[in-house]
Amino acid sequence: MSYKLNLRSKILLAYIGYSLLLSSLTVVGVILATQMSETRSQRDRIKVEAEYYLSDYLSSFIAPASNSFNSARSTSPFITYYYGEELLPLWVKNKVLGLQPGTYFRDNDKQKYCILIKRLPDGENFYLLYNVTRQNRGAEALHSLQMTILLTLLPILIFGVTLGLITSHKVIGPVLRLEKFMRKLEPRQKLPDDFEKVFNKDEIGFLAATLKTSVNDMQDSIERETSFARDASHELRTPITTIKNSLELLDEMKPNLTVSTQKVLRRMSRATSNMEHLVKSFLWLSRQNRLHEFKSTSVNVYDLVEEVVQEQNFIIEQKPVVVKVFDEGSVKVNTEPQLMKILIANLIRNAFTYTERGFVEIHIKTTCFQVRDSGRGIKPDGLMMIKDGTRKGHADGFGLGLSIVKKLCANLGWSFYICSEVGKGTQTRICYNLKERCDWCIGLNMKTPEETGEASKLRHA
């Protein structure tokens, strides 16, 4: 499971990380600098020792032999001088053989030596051996200097981390207050008029003012749309009911009407039914944020499906379409009956409308409700429009009813799925039991009931 840090933790870690990085680089730099300085100091000391010895030797009136018995001795315990090659230790002879005058570093018996070779005026070579290892063992001053530097950097590091914590708190404080306020805000609540005055007149204050304007404008727009849908639905119900009643009276006069007039009446009845269904959908859509206020009862899904199929059957009565209902038996859902009917009617109505021939299969399960048809299908871009509720327009007429279903399901806490293939059909599903999800809820497929083993549950055709 991935763990994501919040903004405050990220800033604190950034400050602490930078402090540790800079302190570490400083410590490493100081240690390297002291070591380089010590190495340079050793080389300079060797050169000074050699020059001092040579100047003292050359000013002597006694010319030494071609060995170092008569040569002056160094007062340093780390330095040994040799004049010529006769008395050189064997390991030195092997390591300096063929070397030109200069300064060299060589190892012997776990000891590190600095060897200086210089040619004298008489043609002999002068050798100076400096035992670096022995000298370093007594370099308490260098170690003391390094420890002093480290102990000096420690309080600086602590001060830097503390300063980082204080600074990050000052920087992130207004953002945290803004985030805390927005978390407490209710879904349909507006921001107060003096909201931005709580913050300073800086970038955070500008962000708060912009946020207040955007949120309040959005809430006003939602409220206007909801009011319009609610008022329009209520206003349209009366004339639609009047038209519907008038058509029912005319329907009783069928024997006295011509065939062409009866066709006109059927078209008017279908249009009135469509409008009535649309008005009911809009009315429930205007209540989508108050669905929890309505009384829920145990609804038999099959009874609603049978009722909707009978009401919408006029859409396919002139089409070679077979309707099949697969039912697991006595499936009941605890919800508002009219709301459940709106959801079922939208899915079945879409399937009836856009299927010219073939079949419409309705599956009722304890976990979900599914409608599958052999209609024309939906193009990929149209399918994306339906899935993305923020886009404008509708997918070849599918978008309105399915958009209503998607919004109502979201407010009920249910899941809505859809898949489609052009020329093969469309499959829609509402999952209302999310605690006991069936295999269908994991992924959609376009398999037939025979392939899925649902054919034995056929109840109505």
Note the pLDDT tens digit of each residue in 110-164.
888 888 888 877 788 888 887 777 666 555 566 677 677 777 777 877 877 777 7
For residue 343, pLDDT over 50 is answered with yes
| Mean pLDDT of all residues belonging to the chain | 75
Identify whether the C-beta of residue 355 lies closer than 8 Å to the C-beta of residue 373. Answer: yes
Identify whether the C-beta of residue 386 lies closer than 8 Å to the C-beta of residue 397. Answer: no
In the structure, what pLDDT confidence band is assigned to residue 66 with cuts at 50, 70 and 90? very low
Mean pLDDT of 341-359: 90
pLDDT of 373 reads 94
Give residue for tokens 């649309």.
278
Mean pLDDT of 10-24: 76
In the structure, what pLDDT confidence band is assigned to residue 340 with cuts at 50, 70 and 90? confident
For residue 438, pLDDT over 70 is answered with no
Q: Alpha-carbon distance 401 to 382, whole Å? A: 14
In the structure, what pLDDT confidence band is assigned to residue 302 with cuts at 50, 70 and 90? very high
pLDDT in tens, 252-291: 776 777 778 877 887 787 778 767 767 776 666 666 665 5
| Residues in the chain, overall count | 461
Q: Alpha-carbon distance 452 to 372, whole Å? A: 13
pLDDT in tens, 80-119: 878 888 888 888 888 888 888 888 888 888 888 888 888 8
Out of 132-136, 326-330, 365-369, pick the least confident. Answer: 132-136
How many CB atoms lie under 10 A from the CB of residue 201?
Answer: 10
For residue 169, pLDDT over 50 is answered with yes
Amino acid of residue 346: N
Nearest to 396 by CA among 409, 411, 386: 386
Domains and CATH numbers, the chain: 7-141 (no CATH), 188-286 (1.10.287.130), 295-460 (3.30.565.10)
pLDDT in tens, 181-211: 788 877 777 888 777 777 777 777 888 888 8
454 against 19, higher pLDDT: 19
Mean pLDDT of 315-335: 88
82 against 305, higher pLDDT: 305
pLDDT above 70 coverage of the chain, percent:
74
Q: Which helix (H) or strand (E) holds 273?
A: helix 259-286
How many CB atoms lie under 10 A from the CB of residue 305?
Answer: 26
Query: Helix H segments across 185-257?
Result: 203-251
Q: Alpha-carbon distance 397 to 394, whole Å? A: 6
